[in-house]
Amino acid sequence: MVEDQEHYLSFQEASQLVAAIQEEENVHQQNRRILTVYNHDERELCWFDFEELIQTIGPGPKEEQQAAVQNYILHHIPVWAVEI
């Protein structure tokens, strides 16, 4: 996740675009989880590596981590995701 080379949607735009964030098994690496982001048409917009994201947001109670993960993702939806 190289942040300085990406352009992201605003939080408001991302909130309107994103319908679900689903934790899934990485099909390319066994025993590796990803968080797949879907729009309202159930199309995959992008994904985030679960372990990298947890390291980025840091430790905490499960409820707080869930909110932090969602908040982080909604602030990091690439602008190209609108075209999907």
Q: pTM higher than 0.85, yes or no? A: yes
DSSP string, 19-70: EEEEEEE-SSSTT-EEEEEEETTS-EEEEEEHHHHHHHH----HHHHHHHHH
pLDDT attached to residue 5? 56
Q: Which domain holds residue 11?
A: 3-83
pLDDT attached to residue 2? 46
Over the chain (84 residues), the average pLDDT of each successive run of 10 is 70 98 89 95 96 94 94 97 91
pLDDT attached to residue 15? 98
Number of structural domains (the chain) is 1
